[in-house]
Amino acid sequence: TQRIIDALDSYAHPVTVPVTLDHHRYDVVIGAGLIERAGAWLAPILPQKRAVVITDETVAALHLPRFMASLEETGIDARAFVVPVGEGSKSLSRYARLVDDILAHGMERKTTVIGLGGGVVGDLSGFVASSLLRGVPFVQIPTTLLSQVDSSVGGKTGLNASSGKNLVGAFYQPRIVLADGDALATLPRRQRVAGYAEIVKAGLIADPELFSWCEANGARVLDGDPAALTEAVRRACAFKARVVMEDERETAARDGRALLNLGHSFAHALEAHFNYDGRLLHGEAVSIGLGLAASLSVALGHARQELGDRIDRHLRMLGMPAGLDWFDAPLSARELIGYMARDKKMQDGRLSFVLLRDIGAAFTSNDVDMDRVTEVLRRAGC
């Protein structure tokens, strides 16, 4: 019964996380049934009752018909453009084809671009919205846990270039974000695991209460319990909104948006090793990266051993990727460090790491001795 009451409550009373920036404010609405009632949410917000919907093949099959029906009910004239699933759709060539198709269909300055899908669709559609006719209204409807807690908040949009991920893009804020808990019901567990890693990360950076909440409720989140998912999304969005409001364009000298990269230097190196080919999801790499960042913090004397143990225990208890023993074969520390050195977070020739003093107390340092990083990687199984 409690589950049914929670579900009804989330349907009737979505929660809202406001994002207030220098020149723009919008809401992230979190609850059940938002896709089904999207027309009612969007009709008052769209400057014109016309929209272009960008989604991927998987999401189109699962959620597009309900979504289009709801737009139609409120008189919003919408046309859907479906791209292939996967990171490959964040390419310059896919972008070129998509904007040509959209322009051929007809597009006015007041026509809204709606991204319905995970982070790939969000980043692609956001960049399309930012650049078509020099910028048209944009709405995000994130359908993965990762996109609900991370990529849909903060206004980063982008594409991959041959020399690296997310190297082409813009800061472009949506009019509204609708994070529908019902969408997550169709999400494979592996994708929930990947999104959950970014939630744990949020707690570790600056929200000890969120981390404790994760210790108590993480298993329910991974099992897809709707009430636990809604609460996790609310807490993680509130955290990210706070960070973004303080440092909209990642210009803070230190400890602003850069803190969101906790675990990510390691994660990006691991992803590069697997050539971004789907064997290792970003969130899985982040999960391992969090443990390594904690070990590095301990090795450098910033945090006590218990901190590393507590994080490792939490991840392993849930069966999350933790440590390099996750992989079948040992990786090379030298190779991973090589990838880190090529990461775009490199500044003036120094690698910047996000480290922990405690749960909820992260800081950045560009003064890390790479020999210690090698040591940590070796101890973790390299």
Asked if 140 is part of the footprint of ligand NAD (rule: CB under 6 A), the reply reads no
Distances (CA, A) of 361 to 117, 202, 354: 32, 11, 10
CA distance 362 to 152: 23
* In the complex, minimum distance from the CB of residue 74 to ligand NAD, in angstroms, rounded to a whole number: 22
- Residue 157 marked ligand-binding: no
* Tokens of residue 302, six digits: 């910033």
Asked if 117 is part of the footprint of ligand NAD (rule: CB under 6 A), the reply reads yes
Asked if 290 is part of the footprint of ligand NAD (rule: CB under 6 A), the reply reads no
CA distance 43 to 343: 42
Q: Pick between residue 229 and residue 307 the one whose CB is nearest to ligand NAD.
A: 229
Query: What is the DSSP track for 75-122?
Result: T-EEEEEEE-SSGGGSBHHHHHHHHHHHHHH---TTPEEEEEESHHHH
* In the complex, minimum distance from the CB of residue 189 to ligand NAD, in angstroms, rounded to a whole number: 11
* In the complex, minimum distance from the CB of residue 78 to ligand NAD, in angstroms, rounded to a whole number: 19
Amino acid letter for position 114: I
Asked if 324 is part of the footprint of ligand NAD (rule: CB under 6 A), the reply reads no
Asked if 146 is part of the footprint of ligand NAD (rule: CB under 6 A), the reply reads yes
Which helix H or strand E contains 295, and what residues bound it? helix 282-299
CA distance 76 to 68: 9
The catalytic site residues sit at: 134, 156, 198, 240, 250, 254, 261, 264, 268, 282
Asked if 295 is part of the footprint of ligand NAD (rule: CB under 6 A), the reply reads no
Q: By Cβ distance, which residue is nearest to ligand NAD?
A: 119
Task: Pick the piece of the chain touching ligand NAD (CB under 6 A) from 41-49, 147-155, 333-341, 369-377.
Answer: 147-155
For residues 68-87, which are near ligand NAD according to CB under 6 A?
Answer: 85-87
Q: Pick between residue 157 and residue 297 the one whose CB is nearest to ligand NAD.
A: 157
Residue among 7, 15, 43, 62 that touches ligand NAD (CB under 6 A): 62
* Tokens of residue 151, six digits: 């990529």
* In the complex, minimum distance from the CB of residue 86 to ligand NAD, in angstroms, rounded to a whole number: 6
Which helix H or strand E contains 40, and what residues bound it? helix 38-42
Q: Residue 111 phi/psi, 5° resolution?
A: -75, 135
Q: Pick between residue 154 and residue 263 the one whose CB is nearest to ligand NAD.
A: 154
Pairing mode, strands 77-83 and 176-180: unpaired
Asked if 284 is part of the footprint of ligand NAD (rule: CB under 6 A), the reply reads no
* In the complex, minimum distance from the CB of residue 151 to ligand NAD, in angstroms, rounded to a whole number: 3
CA distance 223 to 219: 6
CA distance 299 to 282: 25
DSSP-derived 3-state class of residue 366: coil
Asked if 36 is part of the footprint of ligand NAD (rule: CB under 6 A), the reply reads no
Report the length, in residues, of the chain: 382
Asked if 237 is part of the footprint of ligand NAD (rule: CB under 6 A), the reply reads no
Torsion on CA atoms 138, 75, 67, 100, rounded to nearest 10:
-50
Residue among 14, 31, 137, 154 that touches ligand NAD (CB under 6 A): 154
- Residue 165 marked ligand-binding: yes
Amino acid letter for position 53: V
Binding site for ligand NAD (CB under 6 A): 56, 58-59, 62, 85-87, 90, 117-121, 123, 143-144, 146-147, 150-151, 154, 156, 166, 183, 186-187, 191, 194, 282
Which residues are annotated binding-site positions?
119-123, 143-144, 156, 165, 198, 264, 282
